[in-house]
Amino acid sequence: MKEFKGTKGEWIVVRRGQGACEVKIGRIPNHLIARGCNHEESEANAKLIAAAKDLLEALQGLLDVDEIDVHSVFKAQSNAQQAINKALS
């Protein structure tokens, strides 16, 4: 499986402003700006961006489950649900 080559570290929404939200990506000093047509849309875009790395890892984890092992499947599903919750919270 290919390894993620993007910025390591936690990706989080750090500031919400008028019409735009900022996403801190790992240790990068500059933040990514997420915009939308309104504040609600900007915030939803920022949350999805912040969850992107977790969503990728969760999908890779689901594909990694090559045996019918209840514990592995449960862990992969749990990771996927946490990533989805982060994107939609």
Q: How far apart are CA 41 and CA 21, in angstroms?
A: 10
For the cut 80, the answer to whether the pLDDT of residue 17 exceeds it is no
Q: 26-68: per-residue pLDDT in tens?
A: 887 777 888 888 888 888 888 999 999 999 999 888 887 776 7
User: What phi and psi values does residue 10 have, to the nearest 5 degrees?
Assistant: -75, 140
76 and 58 Cβ atoms separated by less than 8 Å: yes
Question: Contact 84/76 with Cβ under 8 angstroms?
Answer: no
Look at residue 69 in the predicted model and tell me its pLDDT. Answer: 76
Q: What is the pTM of this model?
A: 0.76
pLDDT at 85: 92
For the stretch 61-86, pLDDT in tens is: 888 777 677 888 888 889 999 999 99
